[in-house]
Amino acid sequence: QTTMAAGLKENALSKPIILVILLLATIIFWENYNSVDSSKLESSFSIPLTTYSHALFHQSLFEEDTQQYENNENEEKRRRLKRGGRRQRVNTPQEEDSSEDEQQEPTVLSLTPLSSFPSSSSSSWQGTCASSVPKGNLKVVSDLTKETQHVELITDSHLPQRFKSPPKPVMSNPDKLNPLCNQFAWRFCPNPRRGNEDKNWYSCEARQFVGKIHCAYIDNQHTIPGMVYDNERTYPVHGCHPHQKGFQPQPIKKLVKLDKVAHNLAVYPTGFAHVMAQLPRLIILAQSIPEDVPILLAKSSARDSFVNLLHERGILDKKRIINWDPNTVYYAKTLYYAGEMGRGVGTSGKWDTLKVEYCSWALVMPRERLQRIFIGNYSRGASVSMHDERSVERSGSKGV
């Protein structure tokens, strides 16, 4: 056993892709991806979790990465308070930073896109943006399809409702389900931890999109960053939903201006599990936006591993990546981001960007696409379509 452990450790160090494959074994992916009608709605899904120890292993990596992120944030707060000559309680990561309520004139910088990018494949937007920064309460947008001014969906993939009743997970070891439910109280467990969010999350149709917003900012809320907003509206999506202040942005202290940029930030942006959860959005961004658009990502070892693998697969040029500064609000004349919408009983029959997850954002996650990219046809050198078989395109965008 000692020899095997040593061999596995050496192999993991020399071949990081094996770790990636192991990680994918923990992703909850949806099976039987054929389009279904209401008479063929499913009642279960599969969790390929071989052992509970795998889950604990990934949980420990996530907690280690997340704790480091929180420690850095709290240390930055202490430095700010020390410079201000006053003592104040440091908020926990679940609390809002109440010390940043007052709007101040931001420090404005300019960031030039990397010179190694290819020559522009998309003309720069020639419209006019407001010269002032947003102030006051902004309108919260829940349905992007109803916004027309400076808003465009360049990719919009629709998936029909799949489940007629709460699906039950099928596990390789059924005896592990109850301990997991007792610990995490997930929404498919007998006693989920949340209220209305866990009632009708499964009875929804869904769509995944890439949005293009002009004259827009990227919020830098310290725990849940990434909400896009402009001078009049905020565009929260699941994972980028600073709910504790009513989906309003943080005051701008430091501002970096760009001509165009995309981002793939979300809650706990360096946390291991959250980097994995954001992979579908990163892939759809890379396949949808022009090649000369840089992409903001939070720096972490997990991110570097996945970006390197996507680079090797020819999906994402890693030279496009810009390291995100959590103390900075980024602004661009043209800003791209990925998100999801759901429509069902929980959303009163209206399309909603799931800032509150009344429909599960996971319903539209392209699990099959991820599987093919990482461990499927790509390893055999075959070309792989970026479509899941059960998705229906509603736009003319290419490569998705």
Q: What is the pLDDT of residues 316-373, one digit of tens each?
A: 999 999 999 999 999 999 999 999 999 999 999 999 999 999 999 888 887 777 777 7
* Helix, coil or strand: residue 170: strand
Q: Alpha-carbon distance 265 to 74, whole Å?
A: 19
Q: Alpha-carbon distance 232 to 220, whole Å?
A: 18
Q: What pLDDT score was predicted for residue 112? A: 35
Q: What pLDDT score was predicted for residue 370? A: 79
- Tell me, what DSSP letter sits at residue 99? G
Is the pTM here over 0.75, yes or no?
Answer: no
Q: Alpha-carbon distance 40 to 162, whole Å?
A: 8
- Per the rule left: phi > 0, alpha: psi between -120 and 50, beta: everything else, 233 is beta
Q: Count how many residues are written for the chain.
A: 400
Start-to-end CA distance of the chain, whole Å, equals 45
Q: What is the pLDDT of residues 118-170, one digit of tens each?
A: 334 455 788 889 888 898 899 999 999 899 889 999 999 898 998 888 887 88
| 309-312 contacts, C-beta under 8 A, 24 or more apart | 309/16, 309/17, 309/20, 309/374, 310/282, 310/283, 310/286, 310/373
Q: Alpha-carbon distance 61 to 41, whole Å?
A: 36
